Amino acid sequence: MTTLHLRGREFRPGEFAIMAVVNRTPDSFFDKGRTYGFAAALDAVDGAVGNGADIVDIGGVKAGPGDEVSPAEEIRRVADLVAAVRERHPQLIISVDTWRAEVGEVVAEAGADLLNDTWGGVDPDLAKVAAKHGIGLVCAHAGRVAPRTRPHRIAYADVVADVIAHTTDLAERAVAAGVPRESILIDPAHDFGKNTWHSLEVSRRLHEMVATGWPVLVAVSNKDFVGETLGGLPVDRRHAGTMATLAVSAWQGARVFRVHDAASARTALATVAELRG
């Protein structure tokens, strides 16, 4: 399996990296805009670093449906924050959650190390931006749907096969575009273009993604499939389910974990590492 390289750091097979979420959005599903303000977002980054985050993933657009956010507004929300975080934490790996190449260009100039393309390659020029700047790229599976949409009755003959085919194809295309192979991750993107059954199936069979050799990122923190699986729990009661899903993912070989609670994730993954020996 590939050793992951991001900002001069190496994460070898069997080593876990914590990616903490910091959203500069007024309507985030989890924190309801708590870190929308610039100072609050910067404080959240400081807290995540203090709690053991290796990577901070900064987002400027809510994943789900909501008010339209133009590229200019997304840039306004994230670019200055990326620059401030880079100055404040020179060694921190900074990721930006965006599907837009024009946003990727600006944040790469500001100091981002990784572009987290959650919507699965809807803008092929994003990989070209990562290649131009020599930074990393997350290649995700969102069911080939438009960003910020929730398709009705989406179906797959085999969701895991579809996830693997799509993410590895995006990864190889990124390499062909010039993105460093050792800085590419693949992500099944739980809940994106998937219902709860699909997300559970991906979780059960995550080892099949790991077997491709590409480092696997999982972003399951407090997601709807966790709440629905546990009987319809609201967002603020999904923590235990999240930790369980992280542990199962880590046991199967996932490498990077995008979470809202870096400290708890660090503890859970350290336990998995000890159990695996």
Q: SS3 letters for the chain?
A: CCCEEECCEEECCCCCEEEEEEECCCCCCCCCCCCCCHHHHHHHHHHHHHCCCCEEEEECCCCCCCCCCCHHHHHHHHHHHHHHHHHHCCCCEEEEECCCHHHHHHHHHHCCCEEEECCCCCCCHHHHHHHHHCCEEEEECCCCCCCCCCCCCCCCCCHHHHHHHHHHHHHHHHHHHCCCHHHEEEECCCCCCCCHHHHHHHHHCHHHHHCCCCCEEECCCCCHHHHHHCCCCCHHHCHHHHHHHHHHHHHCCCCEEEECCHHHHHHHHHHHHHHHC
Can you give the pLDDT at residue 4? 97
Can you give the pLDDT at residue 180? 97
Q: Which residue ranges of the chain lie beneath pLDDT 70?
A: none
Closest CA relative to residue 4, chosen from 83, 75, 93, 107: 93
Can you give the pLDDT at residue 29? 79
Can you give the pLDDT at residue 195? 96
Mean pLDDT of the chain: 96
Can you give the pLDDT at residue 93? 98
Please say whether the beta carbons of 131 and 174 come within 8 A: yes
pTM of the model as a whole: 0.97
pLDDT tens digits, one per residue of 106-121: 999 999 999 999 999 9
pLDDT tens digits, one per residue of 97-106: 999 999 999 9
Can you give the pLDDT at residue 255? 97
